């Protein structure tokens, strides 16, 4: 399985995403994981114990076109031509209206909250409170300030308020007016009996215990009044209306922390809506009833007067009945008067219909023809058609957007029918007037006959005729009144409740409290994992030998362990250490290299690196030391003329060295200094020159190298970093082998590309890597099990063979104790 994923840098050097490094880095953050997860769990716990869960409940209604079964074309009161169009959209608009929600809030008194103190908050207990606060009409209540009600012994309660400011706002929930009043700062306490009316500047009402509820002495609740408009807006915004697929079904839902409040609000909303729709539907009938009642009072008074006049005349003149001839004339005239009244009603309807057509833009509420007994087929048919087109247009207005063609066609048809109806009205109006003229002529003939009767009979006839007309008119209105009552009582709302709102075990819609801990754990883990990924992804340093082998074809000569001492002479000071064994392995590898390349006589090796700090001087010193310890005469030459370091490790001064020889100030023997290491001499770099590269290129450099080869068996050259200056390249012609030091967790991958380029071009020959500062656990706590340096010192195998120094850390001491056992 691949553990690294190849990517590329802008420099063209391929590098790998080190999965092991990523995992190890993540594991190294274990302390932070524990801290962050602990903090997250603590925060979630505190939130959970303070949070009230929200619930969603719903109700479902259907918008129907419930026509009255008694509301037919033969009914003399009115006639329904198809109802009001766009009814669903109208209902939805009503549900969103402020006025509807004001009625609901008012009916439920949701502007008053009943609260109970819990551990962290005041919970809304709503009807679970054992009492109800009945407001005094037209009184003011304090807004947004909890009023504590504590039940005491002997049916007493204590009212307690803590005023933090001396001016408070109050509201009258009868007319919804507000008023600012002044109060005393601090605590207010006063006791009342439960039956008392509480009359305070900021609180007015009575406390009434709910049925079958008991209170315990010491129980405390809070009353809190809210701004009426604010509560209306709050619940208005929380009501969600869903109309699936534009059907007649409406789903109403609401979210709140109190399920009982949701249930009551949704059901009350539907109830108020249903009542409004029924009232609106019965508005015509209601107006008609009011009109009929008014007419009945008027006709009743007239009838009473006529009856009194008739009785008085009969008593005074001893004439009690009309003669047979007078009765016959009276019957004919009464019939003609009724026929004339019917024609007059038609004329009035035609005039009203004409005015309606000429002034209205909507034709869904055209006056019913049956009210005036209209039976003309043309008018009835055309009114039916124009009403149907108007209904269709109204429906399109709520479903079709930006389509002028449809509305233009409908308007054209409506205008055509309107012109036809107006022509019909003109025609039937003339016909009706002609009929009225004929009836008037017949009435005149009959009235002429009356004048031939005796005078007493004529007067009785006139009084009897007025009484009969009043009586018939009264009976007609009385019949219509009964008819209107029947229609109104038979009307039903267009709102059909499919499912009422009910709490059937609703579950919280918020995230479950227990599942929040998962997010707390993830919140503690993911940021650190992401941070580790970013650091690993953008980390371009070399952290193990395997990575070095993957990014370069240059062979690795060996691996040197990490030096935990402040001294660079580790091989000399601790010859049994694992680092010393690593350098011995390097010595063996170099000797094998020299033998393979048939290098005879003095053998030279150059030690360089990318930049300063990679351990180039450390490796040079110890490599020279290990050659000297093998009995070979060895010299360590400091050719880093720009930043010399060797002199400090051997406690020398850098006054004389290679520079003095190259410029001709000193002889060869004058610059050689012996060390306390047997067979090891040191030639320092000397004073820092202004032209290091030019010095290394002059003829004296050839003589210098030649002299070294005649004097020593092994020559170790400590050169400047090849990644910073070109000085080391000037020396490559003098050496048999070149060593490039790479330091773990320090050398950048990008620097290896420079060496690869020079190696591929042949500018540096016989080049090998030394992996310096190798830590088996590595920076991220993992080891690769490399065998370089024979692996001495790792595990029990090397125990007793190497001296790695004292273990100062607690972990190291524990580890040493286990190894000894």
Q: How far is CA 261 from CA 61, 265, 775, 781, in A?
A: 19, 6, 68, 59
The share of the chain scoring above pLDDT 90, in percent, equals 24
Q: What is the CA radius of gyration of the chain?
A: 55
Q: List 152's β-bridge partners, or say none.
A: 156
Residue 574 and residue 783 in contact, taking contact as beta carbons nearer than 8 Å: no
Q: Name the DSSP class of 143.
A: B
- Between these two residues, 109 and 701, which has the higher pLDDT value? 109
- H/E element, 634: strand 634-638
Residue 14: beta bridge partners? Answer: 8
Q: At 548, which helix (H) or strand (E)?
A: helix 545-551
Task: For 20-34, write each residue's pLDDT tens digit.
Answer: 778 888 888 899 999
Amino acid 711: pLDDT: 92
Total residues found in the chain within this entry: 821
Please state which of the ranges 144-148, 219-223, 404-408, 515-519 shows the lowest mean pLDDT: 404-408
% pLDDT > 70, the chain: 76
**CB of 277 within 8 A of CB of 495?**
yes
Q: Return the top range by mean pLDDT from 225-234, 414-423, 570-579.
A: 225-234
22 burial level (CB within 10 Å; 0-12, 13-18, 19+): buried
The Cα 547–Cα 527 span in angstroms is: 27
Buried b (16+ CB within 10 A) or exposed e, 238-272: ebeeeeeeeeebbebbbebebbebbbbbbbbbbbb
Q: How far apart are CA 425 and CA 28, in angstroms?
A: 97
Res 68 pLDDT > 60: no
Number of Cβ within a 10 Å radius of residue 525: 17
Could you tell me the pLDDT band of residue 234, with boundaries at 50, 70 and 90?
Answer: very high
pLDDT for the residue 451: 56
Distance CA 735, CA 747 (A): 24
DSSP one-letter string for 79-126 = --SS--SSHHHHHHHHHT-HHHHHHHHHHHTTTEEEEEE-SSSEEE-G
Residue 468 clears pLDDT 60, i.e. is over it: yes
Window from 287-291, 625-629, 663-667 with minimum mean pLDDT: 287-291
776: confidence class by pLDDT, cuts 50, 70, 90: low
What 3 state SS string does 309-373 have?
HHHHHHHHHCCCCCCHHHHHHHHHHHHHHHHHHHHHHHHHHHHHHHHHHHHCCCCCCCCCHHHHC
Of the spans 306-310, 633-637, 765-769, which averages the highest pLDDT? 633-637
Q: Phi and psi at residue 240, in whole multiples of 5°?
A: -110, 130
Question: Chain centroid to CA 494: how far?
Answer: 37
**Better pLDDT: 654 or 297:** 654
Q: Please name the residues in contact with 719: beta carbons below 8 A apart, sequence gap of 6 or more.
A: 606, 607, 608, 616, 639, 640, 727, 728, 731
pLDDT: which is higher, 202 or 332? 202
pLDDT of residue 158 exceeding 90: yes
Query: Mean pLDDT, to the nearest integer, of 319-341?
Result: 66
Is the pLDDT at 782 greater than 80, yes or no?
A: no
Region 30-51: mean pLDDT is: 86
To 10 degrees, the CA torsion angle through 561, 565, 570, 572?
A: -160
What average pLDDT does range 325-341 have in this prediction? 71
Q: How far is CA 660 from CA 586, 668, 672, in A?
A: 32, 9, 12
Q: 3-state DSSP call for residue 134?
A: strand
- In this prediction, residue 278 carries a pLDDT of 79
**How confident is the model over 76-96, as a mean pLDDT?**
61
Q: What is the mean pLDDT of residues 367-382?
A: 62
356-360 average pLDDT score: 74
Distances (CA, A) of 487 to 31, 80, 165, 290: 81, 12, 59, 14
Q: Across residues 605-631, what is the average pLDDT?
A: 89
The first and second tokens of residue 635, run together, are 């010299």
Phi, psi of 14 (to 5 degrees): -75, 135
Q: Which tokens hold the place of 325?
A: 């001839």
Q: What is the mean pLDDT of the chain?
A: 78
Report pLDDT digits (tens) over 256-289.
988 999 999 999 999 999 888 777 766 656 666 7
Residue 476 confidence class, pLDDT cut points 50, 70, 90: confident
781 pLDDT band, cuts 50/70/90, is: very low
Q: Which has more confidence, 24 or 468?
A: 24
- Is 70 exceeded by the pLDDT of residue 810? no
Per the structure block, which two tokens stand in for 618? 């450390």
Torsion over CA: 643, 645, 648, 653 (sign): negative
Residue 628 has pLDDT above 50, yes or no: yes
Q: Pick 389 or 797 by higher pLDDT.
A: 389
> What pLDDT score was predicted for residue 447?
66
Q: Check pLDDT > 60 for residue 681.
A: yes
- Look at 350-359, 539-548, 590-599, 671-680 and tell me which has the smallest mean pLDDT: 350-359
* Of residues 566 and 218, more confidently modeled: 218
d(CA 121, CA 47): 12
Domains of the chain, by residue range, sit at 4-51+510-538, 57-263, 283-498, 545-820
Residues 6+ apart with CB under 8 A from 476: none
Q: With 80 as the cut, is the pLDDT of residue 327 above it? A: no
Q: In angstroms, rounded to a whole number, what is the distance separating the alpha carbons of residues 621 and 619?
A: 6
378-392, 415-429, 689-703, 796-810, range with the lowest pLDDT: 796-810
With 50 as the cut, is the pLDDT of residue 788 above it? no
Residue whose token pair is 């015509």: 284
Task: Name the CATH superfamily housing domain 545-820.
Answer: P-loop containing nucleotide triphosphate hydrolases (3.40.50.300)
Contacts of 241 (CB under 8 A, 6+ apart): 92, 95, 96, 250, 251, 252
pLDDT surpasses 50 at 445: yes
What are 408-435's pLDDT values in tens digits? 777 788 778 888 888 888 888 888 888 8
- Please report which helix (H) or strand (E) contains residue 65, including its range: none
Q: What pLDDT, on a 0 to 100 scale, did the predictor assign at position 104?
A: 95
Model confidence at 337, pLDDT cuts 50, 70, 90, reads: confident
> How confident is residue 16, by pLDDT bands cut at 50, 70 and 90?
low
In whole angstroms, what is the distance from residue 693 CA to residue 722 CA? 12
Residue 440 near residue 341, CB atoms below 8 Å = no
Cα–Cα dist 779/544, whole Å: 9
User: What number is the average pLDDT over the span 664-679?
Assistant: 90
pLDDT at residue 778, as a whole number: 53
């Amino acid at each position: 399985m691949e553990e690294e994923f190849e990517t590329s840098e802008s420099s063209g050097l391929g590098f790998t995403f080190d999965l092991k490094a990523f995992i190890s880095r993540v594991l190294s953050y274990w302390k932070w994981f524990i801290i962050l997860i602990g903090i997250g769990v603590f925060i979630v716990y505190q939130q959970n114990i303070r949070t009230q869960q929200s619930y969603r409940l719903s109700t479902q209604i259907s918008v129907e076109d419930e026509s009255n079964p008694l509301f037919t074309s033969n009914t003399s009161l009115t006639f329904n031509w198809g109802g009001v169009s766009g009814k669903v959209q109208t209902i939805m608009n009503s549900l969103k209206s402020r006025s509807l929600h004001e009625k609901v809030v008012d009916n439920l008194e949701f502007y008053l909250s009943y609260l109970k103190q819990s551990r962290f908050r005041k919970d809304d207990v709503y009807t679970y409170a054992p009492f109800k606060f009945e407001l005094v009409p037209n009184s003011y209540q304090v807004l947004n300030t909890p009023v504590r009600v504590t039940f005491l012994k002997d049916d007493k309660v204590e009212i307690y308020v803590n005023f933090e400011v001396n001016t408070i706002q109050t509201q009258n929930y009868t007319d919804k007016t507000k008023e600012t009043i002044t109060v005393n700062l601090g605590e207010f306490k006063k006791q009342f009996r439960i039956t008392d009316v509480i009359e305070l500047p900021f609180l007015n009402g009575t406390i009434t215990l709910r049925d079958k509820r008991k209170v315990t002495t010491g129980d405390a609740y809070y009353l809190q009044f809210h701004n009426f408009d604010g509560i209306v807006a709050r619940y208005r915004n929380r009501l969600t209306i869903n109309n699936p697929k534009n059907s007649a079904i409406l789903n109403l839902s609401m979210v709140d922390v109190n399920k009982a409040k949701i249930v009551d609000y949704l059901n009350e909303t539907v109830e108020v809506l249903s009542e409004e729709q029924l009232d609106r539907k019965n508005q015509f009938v209601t107006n008609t009833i009011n009109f009929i009642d008014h007419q009945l009072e008027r006709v009743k008074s007239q009838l009473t007067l006529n009856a009194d006049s008739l009785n008085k005349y009969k008593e005074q003149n001893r004439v009690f009945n009309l003669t047979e001839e007078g009765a016959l004339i009276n019957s004919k005239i009464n019939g003609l008067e009724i026929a004339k009244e019917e024609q007059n009603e038609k004329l009035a309807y035609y005039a009203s219909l004409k005015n309606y057509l000429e002034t209205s833009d909507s034709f869904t509420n055209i006056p019913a023809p049956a009210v005036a007994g209209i039976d003309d087929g043309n008018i009835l048919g055309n009114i039916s058609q124009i009403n149907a087109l108007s209904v269709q247009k109204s429906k399109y207005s709520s479903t079709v957007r930006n389509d002028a063609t449809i509305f233009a066609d409908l308007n054209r048809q409506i205008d055509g029918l309107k012109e036809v109806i107006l022509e019909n009205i003109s025609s039937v109006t003339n016909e009706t007037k002609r009929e009225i003229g004929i009836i008037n002529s017949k009435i005149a003939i009959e009235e002429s006959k009356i004048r031939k009767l005796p005078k007493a009979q004529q007067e009785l006839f006139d009084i009897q005729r007025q009484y009969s007309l009043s009586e018939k008119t009264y009976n007609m209105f009385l019949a219509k009144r009964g008819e209107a009552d029947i229609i109104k009582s038979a009307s039903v709302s267009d709102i059909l409740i499919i499912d009422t709102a009910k709490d059937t075990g609703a579950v919280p819609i918020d995230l479950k409290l227990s599942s929040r801990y998962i997010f707390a754990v993830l919140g503690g883990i993911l940021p650190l994992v992401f941070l580790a990924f970013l650091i690993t992804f953008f980390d371009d340093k070399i952290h193990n030998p395997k990575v070095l082998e993957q990014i370069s074809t240059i062979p690795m000569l060996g691996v040197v362990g990490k030096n935990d001492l402040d001294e660079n002479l580790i091989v000399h000071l601790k010859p049994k250490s694992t680092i010393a064994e690593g350098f011995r392995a390097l010595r063996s590898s170099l000797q094998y290299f020299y033998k393979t390349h048939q290098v005879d006589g003095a053998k030279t090796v150059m030690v360089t690196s990318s930049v300063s700090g990679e351990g180039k001087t450390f490796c040079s010193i110890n490599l020279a030391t290990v050659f000297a310890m093998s009995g070979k005469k060895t010299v360590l030459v400091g050719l880093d003329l720009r930043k010399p370091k060797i002199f400090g490790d051997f406690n020398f001064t850098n006054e004389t060295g290679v520079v003095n020889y190259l410029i001709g100030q000193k002889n060869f023997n004058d610059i050689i200094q012996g060390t306390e290491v047997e067979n090891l001499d040191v030639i320092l770099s000397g004073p820092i020159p202004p032209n290091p590269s030019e010095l290394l290129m002059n003829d004296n450099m050839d003589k210098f190298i030649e002299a070294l080869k005649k004097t020593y068996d092994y020559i170790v050259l400590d050169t400047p970093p090849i990644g910073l200056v070109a000085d080391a390249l000037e020396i490559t012609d003098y050496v048999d082998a070149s060593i490039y030091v790479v330091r773990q967790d320090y050398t950048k991958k990008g620097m290896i590309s420079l060496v690869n380029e020079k190696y591929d071009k042949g500018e540096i020959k016989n080049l090998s890597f030394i992996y310096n500062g190798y830590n088996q656990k590595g920076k991220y706590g993992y080891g690769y099990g490399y065998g370089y340096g024979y692996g001495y010192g790792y595990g029990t195998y090397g125990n007793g063979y190497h001296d790695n120094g004292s273990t100062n850390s607690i972990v190291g001491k524990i580890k040493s104790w286990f190894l000894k056992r």
